[in-house]
Amino acid sequence: MSKGLPETRTDAAMSELVPEPRPKPAVPMKPVSINSNLLGYIGIDTIIEQMRKKTMKTGFDFNIMVVGQSGLGKSTLVNTLFKSQVSRKAASWNREEKIPKTVEIKAIGHVIEEGGVKMKLTVIDTPGFGDQINNENCWEPIEKYINEQYEKFLKEEVNIARKKRIPDTRVHCCLYFISPTGHSLRPLDLEFMKHLSKVVNIIPVIAKADTMTLEEKSEFKQRVRKELEVNGIEFYPQKEFDEDLEDKTENDKIRQESMPFAVVGSDKEYQVNGKRVLGRKTPWGIIEVENLNHCEFALLRDFVIRTHLQDLKEVTHNIHYETYRAKRLNDNGGLPPGEGLLGTVLPPVPATPCPSAE
């Protein structure tokens, strides 16, 4: 990947900070390009190893949220993605177990390790979403939760004595489960994505894709893509954040052909052709989850975990979080958030239908 170097910061800004009477401290000139390959090995490229070692030591945080009506297979999919019992499913559909009256937010943290890399994975479930008779504004608790995480981070960042590593609870990725009706998106889907695509990375997935044939699947996907475009919903990877041509072509391909991923989840293994594979057993055959001919689970997994995990975090930090911060500071007149003087309470965290407890 060849990307342009960040622009040299305007030197004027630096020289302004220096008091005049003293001999003026220097200001870095525009960089001169020197190709040192000819003159001998210096060892600058070892910084990659150094950096890798450091990051492996500190570990990573990743927070993924799943949103969708109950019964769409959210928990199963998350378990399949991370190859472990990350979510405990509502095992049996038990009428005694009440459907939550409002959308609840359940965040459960896990620590997993692979290849020396430690990851603190937090799965945020949203039971009750879209399950009521009247689902108006059911995205509000979700939006509020997301903003609360930004708020927490901002508060930590604004402290004078800061922690070395601010715990990151911000939602990096939101998987939105679309019901495989085969027709088009529901109004609830559109409303949710419209509101939330501005604050979080949304990855729409078509759940239970084994109910559609290949033609139905591709038609449905096309229609969904069209509808998302018509409604101005920017799902991840957002067009405006493509950094260079290479990214753009890569992401364009994903955006226009693969997404939304039509997935099937399963945590049961079956024997197929002598191999043990994850799948769903039906009278008419075994649907292999990781078989690209059967469904696009593998694409989703590779996309989210193997290639774009870091990018998801970066877009969340550099763009969504910064947007939130800028808006928050602006609303406060340039002041960081908190409770006002003499007990006056500042405008609460956005998207709060009811007073928040901070």
Partner 1 sequence: MSKPVFLSSHSFGDLTNESTASCHNEELRNLSLSGHVGFDSLPDQLVNKSTSQGFCFNILCVGETGIGKSTLMDTLFNTKFESDPATHNEPGVRLKARSYELQESNVRLKLTIVDTVGFGDQINKDDSYKPIVEYIDAQFEAYLQEELKIKRSLFNYHDTRIHACLYFIAPTGHSLKSLDLVTMKKLDSKVNIIPIIAKADTIAKNELHKFKSKIMSELVSNGVQIYQFPTDEETVAEINATMSVHLPFAVVGSTEEVKIGNKMAKARQYPWGVVQVENESHCDFVKLREMLIRVNMEDLREQTHARHYELYRRCKLEEMGFKDTDPDSKPFSLQETYEAKRNEFLGELQKKEEEMRQMFVMRVKEKEAELKEAEKELHEKFDLLKRTHQEEKKKVEDKKKELEDEVNNFQKKKAATQLLQSQAQQSGAQQTKKDKDKKNASFT
- 295 and 289 in contact (C-beta within 8 Å)? yes
14 belongs to the binding site for partner 1 (CB under 8 A): yes
Q: Tell me how far, at minimum, the Cβ of 213 lies from partner 1, in Å.
A: 28
8 binds partner 1 (CB under 8 A): yes
Q: Is 12 in the site for partner 1 (CB under 8 A)?
A: no
Q: How far is the CB of 52 from partner 1 (least distance, A)?
A: 5
Number of Cβ atoms within 10 Å of the Cβ of 332: 14
Stretch that binds partner 1, among 20-28, 175-183, 194-202, 225-233 (CB under 8 A): 20-28
| 5 binding partner 1? (CB under 8 A) | yes
Axis-axis angle for helices 187-196, 140-158 (nearest 10):
10
Please give the span between the terminal C-alpha atoms of the chain, in angstroms, as a whole number: 44
**Minimum distance from residue 250 beta carbon to partner 1 (Å):** 13
Closest CA to 67 of 188, 184, 187, 167: 188
Tokens of 256: 């226009």
The owner of tokens 């302004």 is 16
Minimal distance, residue 249 CB to partner 1, in Å: 15
**Residue 177, strand partner residues:** 205
Positions 122 through 181 that interact with partner 1 (CB under 8 A)? 122, 124, 141, 144-145, 148-149, 152, 158-162, 164-165, 167, 169
State the minimum distance, in angstroms, from the CB of residue 140 to partner 1.
11
d(CA 58, CA 69): 36
Q: Which CB atom, from 135 or from 147, has the smaller least distance to partner 1?
A: 147
Q: How many residues at the interface with partner 1, by CB under 8 A?
A: 123
Build a one-symbol-per-residue string for 29-68: x at contacts with partner 1 by CB under 8 A, - elsewhere. Answer: xxxxxxxxx-xxxxxxxxxx-xxxxxxxx-xxxx------
Applying CB under 8 A, does 91 fall inside the site for partner 1? no
Q: In terms of C-beta density within 10 A (0-12 exposed, 13-18 middle, 19 or more buried), how is residue 222 classed?
A: exposed
Minimum CB separation of residue 47 from partner 1 in Å reads 5
Distance, in Å, from the CA atom of 270 to the CA atom of 206, rounded to the nearest integer, reads 23
Asked if 84 interacts with partner 1 (CB under 8 A), we say yes
In whole angstroms, the minimum distance from the beta carbon of 211 to partner 1 comes to: 25
User: How far apart, in whole angstroms, are the C-alpha atoms of residue 355 and residue 121?
Assistant: 29
The region, left, alpha or beta by phi > 0 then psi within -120 to 50, assigned to residue 98 is beta
Told to check if 232 binds partner 1 by CB under 8 A, we report no
For residue 350, state whether it binds partner 1 (rule: CB under 8 A): no
Q: Which is nearer to partner 1, 46 or 282 (CB)?
A: 46
* Contact set for partner 1, span 233-272 (CB under 8 A): 243
Query: Cβ closer to partner 1: 152 or 194?
Result: 152
Say whether residue 292 binds partner 1 (CB under 8 A): no
What is the C-alpha separation between 105 and 169, in angstroms, rounded?
13
Considering the complex, state which of residue 141 and residue 237 has its C-beta at the smaller distance from partner 1: 141
- Give the shortest CB-268-to-partner 1 separation in angstroms: 11
Quick one: 37 or 134, whose CB is closer to partner 1?
A: 37
User: Around Cβ 24, how many Cβ atoms within 10 Å?
Assistant: 10
Cα gap 223→39, rounded to integer Å? 58
**Contact residue for partner 1 among 226, 281, 339, 347 (CB under 8 A):** 339
- Least Å distance between CB 199 and partner 1? 15
116 counts as binding partner 1 under rule CB under 8 A? yes
Alpha-carbon gap, residue 105 to 96, rounded angstroms: 20
The answer to whether residue 334 forms part of the interface with partner 1 (CB under 8 A) is yes
β-bridge pairing 285-288 and 275-282: antiparallel
How many CA atoms lie within 13 Å of 128's alpha carbon, on the beta-carbon side?
18
Host H or E run for residue 301:
helix 297-301
Does 221 participate in binding partner 1 (rule CB under 8 A)?
A: no
